[in-house]
Homo-oligomer: A and B are copies of this chain.
Amino acid sequence: MKYKKSAGQNAKERILDVSEKLFAEGSFASVSVRTVTSAANVNLSAVNYYFGSKKGLFQAVYVRRATLMNHERLGLLQKAVGKAQQEGRAVSVRELINAMLTPPIFWLYEEEKGLSGYIRFLARAYLEAASDMENVLSQEVDVFDKFVPYFQEVNPSLTVEDIYWRIHFIMGVMHHTINHLDRIGLLSHTACSVETREQTRDRMVAFCCEGF
């Protein structure tokens, strides 16, 4: 029941790869279907054939890696939970924030597999018209919800409100770093370099831990 042609199923993947990168660098409206299709070396109508519409393509780009992304975060969370239980203690703030930030930041440095593009795409998707992309955000929100009880456990004096505000700030640190990592040198007059992914992650985690 499988049908293939010259590029076959690759065409669909190639469109996703290319538009992921393009949507990461520009807004939804600024990236045209023609730019996508010519960069992917497919016919103009391929986008509408495979994804129905431009918006459909955008959502498909999101969906492709969304589950994997949040899977990694929850994996790190459960790993930390297991380790803490074994040692008979509560999960630390550092471990929690580490689980939230490590996947996106490591992906950000993973140019080869295209993961970097996806992360930057995600950060931009947050700013597209809320009405279109609310479902885009809902999944990430659900993941962060799972962290809340642990934050509460490790610091019972905090209200739920306090915790959500701090998660909000952590997301800010994360998104801004994703969006402007390449401009950090310009901001600092070349005082800051891009460093390794671990160094960047550690800087962020340290900053956010203290904030908590």
Contact = CB atoms under 8 A, between A and B. Distances in A.
Nearest to A188: B164
Contacts of A208: 211
A26 B172 CA distance: 19
A171 B176 contact: yes
A141 B28 contact: no
Give the number of copies in the complex. Answer: 2
Nearest to A208: B211
Contacts of A189: 145
A180 B168 contact: yes
Contacts of A51: none
A192 B172 contact: no
Contacts of A26: 29, 129
Contacts of A168: 176-177, 180, 184, 187-188, 192
A164 B180 CA distance: 13
Nearest to A160: B191
Nearest to A25: B129
A164 B176 contact: no
A7 interface: no
Interface of A: 25-30, 124, 126-130, 137, 141, 144-145, 160-161, 164-169, 171-177, 179-180, 183-184, 186-189, 191-192, 203-204, 206-208, 210-212
* Top 4 A-B residue pairs of the complex, sorted by shortest distance between their CB atoms: A172-B176, A27-B27, A164-B188, A29-B30
